[in-house]
Each structure stands twice: as C-alpha cells, then as structure tokens.
Amino acid sequence: MADPSAESDFLKEFLIPSYILLPETAVDAPPDVPKCPVLVFINAKSGGQLGGELYKTYRSLLNEEQVFDLSEEAPDKSLSKIYINLEKLKLDGDEFATKIEEKLKIIVAGGDGTAGWLLGVVSDLKLTRPPPIATVPLGTGNNLPFAFGWGKKNPGTDRQSVESFLYQVLKAKEMKIDSWHILMRMKVPKDGPCDPIAPLELPHSLHAFQRVSADDTMNLDGYHTFRGGFWNYFSMGMDAQISYAFHSERKLHPEKFKNQLVNQSTYARLGCTQGWFAASIFHPASRNIAQLAKVKIMKRQGHWEDLHIPHSIRSIVCLNLPSFSGGLNPWGTPNQQKKDERDLTPPYVDDSLIEVVGFRDAWHGLVLLAPNGHGTRLAQAHRIRFEFHKGAADHTFMRIDGEPWKQPLPVDDDTVVVEISHLGQVNMLATHGCRSKSMYDPSTPSHHNEEDDSGEEDSVQDEEFRKFGAAETFKIPDEVDISHLS
C-alpha cells in the first residue's frame, strides 16, 4: 500500500494556493514553492463521460480553484483574471507569486479542438512568460497529444492514472511549436443572404473579421474576409469530405458518439460509403485538387512560385505536426538523396515551414501504416495560397485541425482565395522521446542552418493579424456546442 504522506508530498509539487487564483483572498503561501504548479482545463463533455470523471478526480487531488471546466467559463477569462492577480501580487513584492509564474504549466484535457483553443488563447494573451502546455487525449483523433508523447487513447480517470500523468508533466521537456494563420476571402454574393457564416458552418477558429483601420489591405470592399489559425493541419478534398460526413452525423445523433472506438469505426465506415476507397470510380476528376485550384507557395526566398499538383491527387494536407488522422505521419523522413535533390527536411515543428502532402485515395493513405511509408511530398513552404476559379465544381470540403466545413466555390468570374502563412510559436510540454522534432534540439540532426525569417510577417501592419484566430481573444462562440469539438 502506498505511503499516504509520500503521496501528499508528491501532490504538493503541483498545488497552487487560493490567494494566487482568487483576488482579495487572504495570503496563505506555503513555506516551499511547488516544483510544478499547474492550471488544469478540462472539457467535461469530451470523451463521453470521461471528461466529467477526470474533472472530479483532478479537483479531489488539487486545489479546486486551479481546475477549470471549459463548458463553465472560457479560458481567456480564467487566465486573464489569474495573470492580473499575479501582476498585482508581484508589484506588492510577493516573491512566492513571482516563482509561481516562472514555474507555471497548463494541462488541457479534451479533443484537438479543445487543445487548440487553449493554445490560441495563450498565444493571444501575449504573456511575458507563456506557460508550456501538456495535452490529455480526450477526443477522437488526438493528434496534438500523440505528437508530443502523451498518447492517443482516452486516459484513465482514477487517482492513480492522474498521478501518473502529473508525474510525466513534472519530468516533461519544453518545445516550441509553430502556429499558422489562415485567411479566406470570397466575394459577397449578388443574390441571397449577405452573411455566409451560418450556411458555411465554419470552424470556431475561422471567422469573419472586419476592417480594423484605413490601412487594412487584407479586408477588401465587396468581399467577405475570414481569418483564423491552426496548429496541426489544414486539409482539402476527399479526406475533409469524410470528416464532414462524420461531424454531420454526430451532430444529428450525438448519443451514438460517446465511445472512442465506436467513433473511429463510424469514421472508417463513412470512408467506404463516401467512396474514399474507390475514389477513381465515385470521385469525379473535376474535383481533384489540380482541377479545383491553382496552388502557389512561398519558400524562404520570399517570392511566390507555382506548385505542380499531379492530376491524380484528390486530397491535399498542409501539415505542421507529424501526426494526422489519429497518429499517421504523411511526410515521413526523406532520405539523404531526396534531401539533396529537392531540398527537403524532416518535419520539424518549429522551423516556420509547413509540409504539403497529397493523396490519391484511401488506399494511398494506407501506405502510411508501412515502415517509411508517406504520401506524395509536394513541398515545404513558409506560405501557401489556393486560388479557386469558376469552373470545375460549385463546392469543396476543407478541414482545420479536425473541424470540417463545406466551402462554396465561385459561381461567377471571381476567385475564392485561401492563404496560409506562418504566424508565431507557443510552448508545449513533451515527453522525452516524443515523435515531434525540433530543429534546435542537439539530438536531432539538422539539415541546414538558415537565418530565421520569422520577421517577414512584420510587413503586415495590423496588430490584429498577428493574433491567433485574428480576434481580441480567441474563443468559441456561444452558439457552438463545445461538446462537438473533436
């Protein structure tokens, strides 16, 4: 039987006293600063009943005030209050509060949508010391936690499982991760409703953004401009179509989607019924990527160039992390010959480059299950632009970090533009030996040493443009049911 006093001493390393969390609370600082003070954010509606059970367990082990239910209060509000209080305490000379801020870490439990929400909020708050974030897999895909070594299966919710996770957080290393800005522009329709948000059912991270100043050239008169951000991937084509069918069915029958294994089985079934495994028969060639859009990329040199897309490609993925569709790695690791001939690098998560990969059909995707298997490597880029013109189809499907939507394409002679560009970075917590690689990690062989050109975005004068999600505070709108975030 475990020693209760030893367990108590272990948990003290994560505890934050109430006066740090709640303003106007009597100061009750313990004699020793905890090694790993944590704020825990849990989507209590994720993972069926698991989210709620996990919430109860964390609250029973830690100070209840340091554990938050995301369905009760948005994280930007919670974090803002805590950091305002920390600043006040520091001005009053509270050294304990200073040490807490220096050591503070965040744990977020939910699907990739929930984790991305927290990362976006931390990015937007522009904190002096942004806390690194550990992600608990509590969704269907769980690409973010898997990429950083936290697994992809729903965790245990008992005391022992939570303590085991806390121990991993205590020993975890910090890594940077790139974030990506996405801009979509489409002409205001001549007929029908002027606001396309409702029928588009856009992801929570992609939303309309109005002109913020007279110098805002990103927002054009007569056009709808949407901006947002992502951490893991943007995809377009048939894979997004399957995801859209899955989310539509889950929205209609949420009671059938409370088990991770059932969700994954349903996803596979939809892949068959939508024709993803027989795309050459069921998927019209007019919807192949090369027919739908003209694609341009910008490498580090700073000029746009056309990207050749093979006519057989039915799905394209712009990938930031080495984890897609529940843990697959579409880019793989290019061999030395490919590195030299095409100037390809391993998929570093902090190199300001996004990997662009194509797939012909689901069978092509299955090569990822084989050793050294990968998709069709198209490019690595600092920016990528899709220009959709009238012609091939009236719509396509797109997806950001697991959240899909049906995107209408031009019906007249105008163009729909989607542009993705590097935005910034945030701190992640990773287990040692995780699959994500840093170009600055001495244990990771570096392909080349180039000067960082991350200042390129400074040519855009809008401060709002540099915010993740391009919002004052990145948050999920009230009308979006957070339980549907994957």
Mean pLDDT taken over the chain? 77
98 vs 242, more confident: 98
Q: Cβ distance 429 to 177 under 8 Å?
A: no
Long-range contacts of 329-338 (CB under 8 A, 24+ apart): 329/368, 329/374, 329/435, 330/355, 330/357, 330/359, 330/368, 330/374, 330/375, 331/355, 331/357, 331/374, 331/375, 331/377, 332/372, 332/373, 332/374, 332/377, 333/372, 334/377, 338/377
pLDDT recorded at residue 453: 34
Task: Give phi and psi for 444, each to the nearest 5.
Answer: -105, 120
Of residues 204 and 264, more confidently modeled: 204
pLDDT at 455 over 60: no
Residues 436-463 have a mean pLDDT of 50
Higher pLDDT, 451 or 41: 41
Per-residue pLDDT, averaged over 130-152, amounts to: 89
Walk across the sheet containing 403-408 and list its strands: 376-381, 354-359, 315-319, 233-237, 395-400, 403-408
Long-range contacts of 260-267 (CB under 8 A, 24+ apart): 260/47, 260/48, 260/140, 260/153, 260/154, 263/140, 264/140, 264/326, 267/140, 267/242, 267/243
**DSSP code for 324:** B
Q: What is the pLDDT of residue 39?
A: 98
Higher per-residue pLDDT: 464 or 35: 35
- With a cut of 90, say whether residue 11 has pLDDT above it: yes
**Residue-wise pLDDT tens digits, 329-348:** 778 776 666 666 677 888 89
370 burial level (CB within 10 Å; 0-12, 13-18, 19+): exposed
At residue 273 the predicted structure's pLDDT band, cuts being 50, 70 and 90, is low
Q: Which of 5-19, 174-188, 339-353, 464-478 shows the lowest mean pLDDT across its residues?
A: 464-478
Spatial separation of the C-alpha atoms in residues 40 and 111, rounded to whole Å: 15
The CA distance from 14 to 35, in Å, is: 7
For the cut 50, the answer to whether the pLDDT of residue 461 exceeds it is: no
| pLDDT at 254 exceeding the cut of 70 | no
Asked if pLDDT for residue 457 goes beyond 60, the answer is no
Task: Please give the residue that has the higher pLDDT: either 380 or 446.
Answer: 380
Classify domain 7-171 by CATH number. 3.40.50
Tokens 């992600």 -> residue: 135
Question: Among 38-42, 107-111, 251-255, 379-383, which range has the highest average pLDDT?
Answer: 38-42
User: Which CATH architecture best describes the domain 179-428?
Assistant: Sandwich (2.60)
DSSP alpha helices (H): ranges in 253-308?
260-273, 279-282, 289-292
H or E stretch covering 157: none
Looking at 88-97, 271-280, 293-302, 310-319, which range is the least confident one?
Answer: 271-280
Window from 216-220, 304-308, 392-396 with minimum mean pLDDT: 216-220
> Who has greater pLDDT, 139 or 253?
139
Tokens of 351: 């190199």
Domain parsing of the chain, residue ranges: 7-171, 179-428
Q: Which two tokens stand for residue 479?
A: 């009308």
pLDDT band at residue 200, thresholds of 50, 70 and 90? low
Query: What is the pLDDT confidence band of residue 368, given thresholds at 50, 70 and 90?
Result: very low
Window from 391-405, 417-431, 469-483 with minimum mean pLDDT: 469-483
2-16, 92-106, 121-135, 257-271 — which is least confidently predicted?
257-271
Give the pLDDT score at 405: 86
Q: Is 178 exposed, middle or buried (0-12, 13-18, 19+ CB in 10 A)?
A: buried
Q: Which of 469, 389, 384, 466 is nearest to 419 (CA)?
A: 384
Note the pTM of the prediction, 2 decimals: 0.80
Which pLDDT score is estimated for 46? 76
> Which range in 263-267, 365-369, 465-469 is most confidently predicted, on average pLDDT?
263-267
